[in-house]
Amino acid sequence: MAIVPHTAIISSILGVAAGPRWTPRIYPGQLAQTSRLRADLRADLAGFGADLVEAAVLCASEAFANAVEHTRSGGPGGRVVRALHVPAPGRVRLVIVDDGATATAPRVPRQRTAREWETAEHGRGLLLIDNLASAWGGYPVVPFPFCADLGTAVWAEFATGEVLR
């Protein structure tokens, strides 16, 4: 069961933005969809600075991969939602919503030896988001303790360098 069945519901789940927002996009929960996610995001952010666009694209790719790898979004019929809006003048917020928890969860690695960093195949995505976004975080799609496994929204904000109207 997917937590986000209709586009109309997506806007209410993600909240009303303070400024412009783009139509949310829904992707099948397959890593092969990452290139489509990137292309769509580049198209949606046309007109913004190249640094902002590339940072947002990399963060979206990492959050999308985590959703596919660590949640029900990567299972049969799973989906990932990508939303984009302006929460305040001069800021763009990217939101990736998954279909709900599984037994694994991404985490920011805290302690690794230099050798472990050299050979690690996973564990850098959230560090990239932490370094590229001006702010980021996550929250449950449904804010009730007994609904915690229904999905998570991971968000990242980027400064536009200009005041949007």
> Would residue 7 count as lying in a domain?
no
Distance of CA 110 to the CA centre of its chain: 21
- Give the separation between CA 153 and CA 133, rounded to whole angstroms: 15
Q: Is the pLDDT of residue 45 over 70?
A: yes
The pLDDT of 104-119, averaged and rounded, is 61
Measured at the CA of 95, the angle between CA 85 and CA 21, to 5 degrees, comes to: 15
pLDDT of residue 12: 47
Averaged pLDDT score across all residues of the chain: 82
Residue 101: per-residue pLDDT: 79
Higher pLDDT: 10 or 121? It is 121
Domain annotation covers residue 29: yes
Residue 55 has pLDDT above 80, yes or no: yes
Tell me the one-letter amino acid at 120. A
Helices (H) and strands (E) in the chain, counts: 5, 5
Instruction: Examine residue 71 and state whether it is found in any structural domain, yes or no.
Output: yes
Domain total of the chain: 1
Taking 90 as the threshold, does the pLDDT of residue 107 lie above it? no
Q: Evaluate whether 14 touches 25 at the Cβ level (below 8 Å).
A: no
Once rounded to an integer, what is the mean pLDDT over residues 121-130? 76
pLDDT band at residue 8 using 50, 70 and 90 as cut-offs: very low
Band (7; pLDDT cuts 50, 70, 90): very low
Greatest alpha-carbon span in the chain = 48
Identity of the amino acid at 129:
I
Q: What is the CATH number of the domain that holds 129?
A: 3.30.565.10
The separation between the first and the last C-alpha atoms of the chain, rounded to the nearest angstrom, is 39
Residues 22-43 pLDDT 10s: 999 999 999 999 999 999 999 9
Its sign, for the CA torsion 144, 149, 150, 155, is: positive
pLDDT, residue 19, reads 74
The per-residue pLDDT for 145 is 74
The whole-angstrom separation of Cα 64 and Cα 74 is 10
Which domain, by its residues, includes 97? Answer: 21-159
Beta bridge partners of 165: none
